[in-house]
A and B are shown apart, each in its own frame.
Chain A
Amino acid sequence: MTARLAPGALVRVRDDWPETRGKVHIRTPHYLRGRTGRVVRHLGDFPNPEDLAFARPARILPLYHVLFDQPPIWHEGSAGDEILVEIYEPWLSPA
């Protein structure tokens, strides 16, 4: 899978809740589902941990640093506070 999101791209995190549908292992924190952030950098390509966690064959996926405004997410902090999170490409779509 070739990285298709460039630094600076506005992206939306999938508003999806696989944990309500059965046993899963996911790295996308609950508080970012449906949130919009900005790609900072492509960190490299790694086997999908969602599959590795079950010893299944894993696709190689691009991983990104994505930056979010913090105050709207937790209703605290000051303007300019940010959250930087590593997110795999299938969780992101252009916003």
Chain B
Amino acid sequence: MDLETPRAHHDLGGAPKYFCQGIDKEAHALTDFDKEVDAIRQALGAKKIMTVDELRRGIESLPEADYHRLSYYQRWLCSIADNLLARGVITEAELAAALASEP
């Protein structure tokens, strides 16, 4: 096998850097944050504002360092925000204001 293919950074199957790492097989409970992000994703899908394919594309477009630093649902939320900004559903100013008002 060509171990160093020009794969995209999210395309992790068979990546040599993980060969010697254990696999976490424990079940993890969803946090309230995780559930809320999932609910937002479902609402956007039901209203035909964003598909799961667009969600995935947005996740894969995250900078490599962010992709590996963020949790699974944090990646989703970043992608959702990017998609909504690109579509004009929300503006940068609205997002900044909402983030600033967080306790």
Contact = CB atoms under 8 A, between A and B. Distances in A.
B61 interface: yes
Contact of B11 (A29, A54, A74): A29
B54 interface: yes
Interface of B is mostly: loop
Nearest to B61: A23
Interface of A: 17, 19-20, 23, 25, 29-31, 33, 49, 52-55, 72-75
Given A25-B60, A75-B1, A49 B11 contact: no
B98 to A, nearest CB: 24
Contact of B54 (A20, A31, A53, A72): A53
23 contacts: A17-B6, A19-B7, A19-B8, A19-B11, A23-B61, A25-B60, A29-B11, A30-B8, A30-B11, A30-B13, A30-B14, A31-B5, A33-B5, A49-B53, A52-B53, A52-B54, A53-B54, A54-B57, A55-B51, A72-B1, A73-B14, A74-B1, A75-B1
B35 interface: no
A20 B1 contact: no
A55 B11 contact: no
Contacts of B60: 25
A75 B14 CA distance: 10
A30 B1 CA distance: 11
Contacts of A52: 51, 53-54
Interface in B1-60: 1, 5-8, 11, 13-14, 51, 53-54, 56-57, 60
B57 A25 contact: yes
A34 B99 CA distance: 46
A17 B7 CA distance: 8
